[in-house]
Structure 1
Amino acid sequence: MSSRTRRVAMSGLALVGTVAVLAGCASAPSDSTSSKKSDFLPCMVSDAGGFDDKSFNQLGFEGLKDASADIGAEPKTAESKDATVYDSNIQQLVNQNCNLIVTVGFNLAASTKKQAAANPDTDFAIIDDNSINAKNVKPITFDTSQAAFLAGYAAASYSKSGTVGTFGGMQIPTVTIFMDGFADGVEYYNEQKKKDVKVVGWDVKSQKGSFTGGFEAGTQAKSVAQSLLDQDADVILPVGGPIYQSAAEAIKDADNGSVLIGADSDLYEADPRYKDIAFTSIEKGMKPATKDVVEQAAKGDFSKTPYVGTLENDGVGIAPFHDYESKVDSGLQGELDKIKAGIIDGSVKVDTEASVK
């Protein structure tokens, strides 16, 4: 393991279902289920990317839906097209007397803090941020670096070119925590195997790397992914909601055997269009965590105590290798199991600059 000392992060990015939702600026938030049996009203505001991003917004929304179905509630949702509508989306839900408002993502922290202070009788939960210290705000966070460490090790083991890559949407802790863990997992592989697999797109020491500037799929994300392929990366981890779609397009266009690592949800299951290049995924248990927080609040057990997903409590992990199961080294899974146990018992250290304390 690297001798660099970095703090273990307690937050993570950045992330499934379809619904008619508030379009950024004007119209009122929409209802999502049919029969209302409970007086408890759970609500949610998305970040950019929308509730159908097959990533962090969608996972949070699915948790909201599942909890609402269990408690017999009819949730309300508001979709943010950009940062200009965070405040207004939250305010509209407050005005509809929501008992709990879940905000999805680090980017909504300032608006959540402001609205929670202005509305002390409304409870809030925020996914991927733990910067708010208020009695009516519960952080839902994930130490994603632990799972990303395993994915980095696996990527280094699989790489044929000796180069792997990662890039992000915005350079914020919930994105770079993936990139730190991934790069450190590659370094751990090199130390254990006496290899020299390179990481392009992110430098842990300088905390500098490749970013698209947002979470939208498009030409910019594809261009960044292509730049990593041009540097011989044959395993790529894009971190930032839908930007994985553009990375997948670049990989498919290259048609050179390169593969993709998903972020937040199991890409193989979440978006079967890309199952043929889905090597594995770094998973965050946003769906069960959100479901649990909503159900506890509905029971009157809301508290500001943070939820932190780790390998130990299955809050984070990596997906199966699916179609690549027979293509990885026969001893890889055993090595990953051993590393996971070491991370849990503390004998393998996973640290990151992306700590939000």
Structure 2
Amino acid sequence: MKHTARTAAMVGIAALVLAGCGSRPSDNASDSPSASPTESTSSSAPAESHPDFKACEVSDSGGFDDKSFNQTSLKGLTDAKADLGVQTAQVESNSDSEYADNIDALVKQGCNSITTVGFLLGDATEAAAKANPKVDFSIVDYGYAKPAKNLKGLTFNTAEPSFLAGYLAASQSESGIVGTFGGLNIPTVSIFMEGFRQGIEKYNADNGADVKLLGWNGKDGSFLNTFDDKSKGQSVAEGMIQQGADIIFPVAGPAGLGGLQAAKDKGIHAIWVDTDGCVSAAEYCDVLLTSVMKGMDVAVEQAIKDAVDGNFSNEVFVGTLANGGVGLAPYHDADSLIDDSTKSAIDDLKQQIIDGSLKVG
């Protein structure tokens, strides 16, 4: 991946920029976004009507049908259309080189608010916000030390629910080995992996166990250098399974679906990210223990509503367990496999994180 000076600067505020990833059919700017599997539709009239306001969105190179990161962010836009009665448009990015041009295309369409999706759009979004002070910009998974007045970061402390997922994975592993891999080695990916690692360590400390993690050691690990290549994700997951891993935690957008396929083929379990995998990738629900969720749809819609109401600010949003911005999905098909004592322990750890007595990250 390409690291810019801005990316380097972001390391200093990575605590605020907490995962993201993101296949891409391709449909340039459109006033009617494609429906997402996580999207609820209704024929009723919107509660509000703002037909002169246009809310727009740009994906990262993963595209809006990734069953994860971009898809959930797009739901925030479609929910805003349904709830606020605004016009909408969106553009899918096919490569990193398109970000600036895609944002500019929406500015030229007269968009009043533009949401960009992903850490890799940080530079292009900031440049566009500075060049277009009358447009309100928000960006998923990026924060700025000194944002422009019309630029809002929407960030998520995914280390917190990933910690709970790590504890769960360690408790359910029969081999004593679990694996994780990421799309790119960027803060919004590695924060999942680090929280997961710390959760495994907590389980080991509390239970006198020695569950081992493949793919992340706290500083470096296994990365695909893509969010798009499902076959590469499947290959990496299969390699971890060959080493004994019986639970896989992919943090790689559509490429991570390859990890779920490997788990399904080999009869082991996995944990999904960004959205409830039993909803967005239901064909893999039978192998999922849970999913680490980010409320990107809610944050995106709220940013649009604030722009509609004239209440938009550049104050960064940080989703946490305490404010419901992140969380674990239900256990779904795996519920009967997880004993009550483990469920209780996870509930207790969640409360300790919320009240501040347990620090994660």
Q: Tell me which residue corresponds to 2:70.
A: 57
**Contact 1:15/1:54 (CA < 8 Å) preserved in 2?**
no
Alignment-derived partner of residue 3 in structure 1: none
Closer/same/farther in 2, CA of residues 222 and 209 from structure 1, 3 Å limit: same
- SS of residue paired to 2:72: helix
| Residue in structure 1 matching 2:222, options 210, 213, 220 | 210
Identity %: 45
Q: Does the C-alpha gap of structure 1 residues 7 and 155 become closer, same or farther in structure 2, counting only changes over 3 Å?
A: farther
SS of 1:334's equivalent in the other structure is helix
Instruction: Please tell me the residue identity of whatever aligns with 2:184.
Output: M
Alignment match, 1:14: 20
Provide the residue aligned with 1:88 in structure 2: 101
Aligned match of 1:180: 194
Q: Does 1:170 align with 2:180?
A: no
Gapped runs of 5+ residues in structure 2? Answer: 1-11, 34-42
Q: Select the residue among 307, 328, 338 that pairs with 1:328.
A: 338
Aligned to 1:112: 125
Partner Cα distance (2:229, 2:72) in 1:
18
The C-alpha deviation readout for 1:34-75, integer Å capped at 9, x for no partner, is: 998521111000001111111110111101111122111120
Correspondent of 1:294 among 281, 304, 310? 304
Between the aligned partners of 2:14 and 2:292, the Cα distance in structure 1 is 17
Deviation readout 1:101-134 (Å, 9 max, x if unpaired): 0000000001101111111221100000002621
SS of 1:31's equivalent in the other structure is coil
Question: Which of 153, 160, 163 is equivalent to 2:174?
Answer: 160
Contact 1:15-1:59 within 8 A present in 2 as well? no
Alpha-carbon contact 1:167-1:239 (below 8 Å) kept:
yes
SS of equivalent residue, structure 1 residue 260: strand
1:57-105 CA distance string (max 9 Å, x none): 0111101111122111120101001101101000000111111100000
Match of 1:281 in 2: 291
What SS is found at the alignment partner of 2:336? coil
Corresponding residue to 1:232 among 244, 247, 264: 244
| Secondary structure of 2:224 counterpart | coil
Higher-helix-fraction structure: 2
RMSD of the TM alignment (CA)? 2.0
Q: Does 1:189 align with 2:203?
A: yes
Contact 1:102 1:124 in 2 (8 A): yes
Whole-angstrom distance in 2 between the partners of 1:208 and 1:15 = 18
Q: What is the aligned counterpart of 1:271 among 281, 298, 305?
A: 281
Residue 305 of structure 1 is matched in structure 2 by 315
1:354 is matched with none
- Worse-matched range after superposition: 185-194 or 324-333: 324-333
Contact map agreement 2:230 2:256 (CA 8 A) in 1: no
Paired residues of 2:21 and 2:183 also in contact (CA < 8 A): no
| Contact 2:192–2:251 (CA under 8 A) maintained in structure 1 | yes
1:157, 1:87 → 2: CA distance?
45
Match of 2:40 in 1: none
How far does the alpha carbon of each residue in 1:156-196 deviate from its partner, in whole angstroms, 9 at most, with x for none? Answer: 00111001110000110000000000000000111111111
Q: How has the CA–CA distance of structure 1 residues 7 and 75 changed in structure 2, closer, same or farther, with 3 Å as cutoff?
A: closer
TM-score, normalization by structure 2: 0.89
Q: 1:149 aligns with which of 153, 163, 170?
A: 163
Alignment deviations for residues 220-278 of structure 1 (CA, whole Å, 9 cap, x no partner)? 211111111111111111002112211122122223xx111000001011111111111
Distance 2:25 2:95 in 1: 18
Question: C-alpha distance in 1, partners of 2:25/2:308?
Answer: 22
Structure 1 match to 2:347: 337
Q: CA separation in 2, counterparts of 1:176 and 1:261?
A: 15
Is the 2:180–2:251 contact (alpha carbons within 8 Å) kept by the matching residues of 1?
yes
Q: Would you say the 8 A contact 1:221–1:243 is kept in 2?
A: yes
**What is the CA-CA distance between 1:15 and the residue it aligns to?**
6.3
Q: Do structure 1's residue 250 and structure 2's residue 256 form an aligned pair?
A: no
**Contact 2:232 2:255 (8 Å CA) reproduced:** no
Contact 1:32 1:75 in 2 (8 A): yes
| Alpha-carbon contact 1:8-1:143 (below 8 Å) kept | no
User: Comparing both chains, which one has the higher relative contact order based on Cα–Cα distances under 8 Å and sequence gaps of 6 or more?
Assistant: 1
Task: Give the 3 Å change call, closer, same or farther, for CA 64–284 of structure 1 in structure 2.
Answer: same
- Residue identity in the other structure for 1:209: G
